[in-house]
Amino acid sequence: MSARDEILGRVRSALSGVSPAVDLPPAPRAPDRGDLVALFVERVEDYRAVVTRCSPDDLGSVVAEVLGSASSVVPPGLGLDVAGSVVDDGLAAADLDRIDAVVTRARVGIAETGTLVLDHAPDQGRRAISLVPDLHVCIVDAAQVVADVPDAIALLDPARPTTWISGPSATSDIELDRVEGVHGPRTLHVVLVG
């Protein structure tokens, strides 16, 4: 018998006589927290990420200022001109490793947890580009901020890869003290528009 059939057979016999019916209570919702965007900013900053808020008109100059002299890569559909940056066309990991920064958009921001979710649409690019460079500048629109995790889940398409980002890369592996900056970008700069 194939491993597949044997395992499925074991599962069925383990559960013979066990009713599959389980009462599924809905997960509770967090109470209304008022100004979601303010909460989002507060919680993102809690992870020691940097947040800059600006108007749509100022976005280009704010991004340029955040980048300073850093070399950068952008996804093909960013929809913003970033002077001097390379547009990703399938760069090798080693090439990305020589670039200081990346500028992307996001799909959704979660206020309760201070999380950005990327679904890697053309304005966010391949997963690798927002991972290898050491500075991630992530542009999120105030209108993209939702209250909590269930709202984000409902908006996301599971067929796409998603990356949930809550602050810069971090570890608590030494004495369970949190330190920022391991393999992912050591600096996360969120530019909040609107």
Q: What are phi and psi of 73, to 5 degrees?
A: -125, 145
Dihedral angle at the C-alpha atoms of 76, 79, 82, 84, nearest 10 degrees? Answer: 30
SS3 118: strand
Under rule CB under 8 A, how many of the chain's residues touch another protein?
78
Locate tokens 């991630």: which residue?
A: 136
Given the DSSP bridges, would you call strands 115-118 and 108-110 parallel, antiparallel or unpaired?
Answer: antiparallel
Instruction: State whether residue 58 is helix, strand or coil.
Output: helix
Q: Where are the alpha helices (DSSP H) in 3-124?
A: 3-14, 36-46, 59-67, 93-96
Interacting residue with another protein among 51, 54, 142, 149 (CB under 8 A): 149
**Contacts (CB under 8 A) with another protein, residues 12-41:** 12-15, 18-31
Q: Which is nearer to another protein, 28 or 56 (CB)?
A: 28
**Residue ranges in 155-184 that form contacts with another protein under rule CB under 8 A:** 156, 158-184
Asked if 185 touches another protein (CB under 8 A), the answer is: yes
With respect to another protein, which residue has the nearer C-beta, 52 or 166? 166
42 binds another protein (CB under 8 A): no
Report 52-111 residues binding another protein (CB under 8 A): 90, 93-94, 97, 110
Q: How far is the CB of 89 from another protein (least distance, A)?
A: 10
Residue 73, classed as helix, strand or coil, is: strand
2 binds another protein per the rule CB under 8 A:
yes
Site for another protein in 114-143 (CB under 8 A): 114-115, 120, 126-128, 131-132
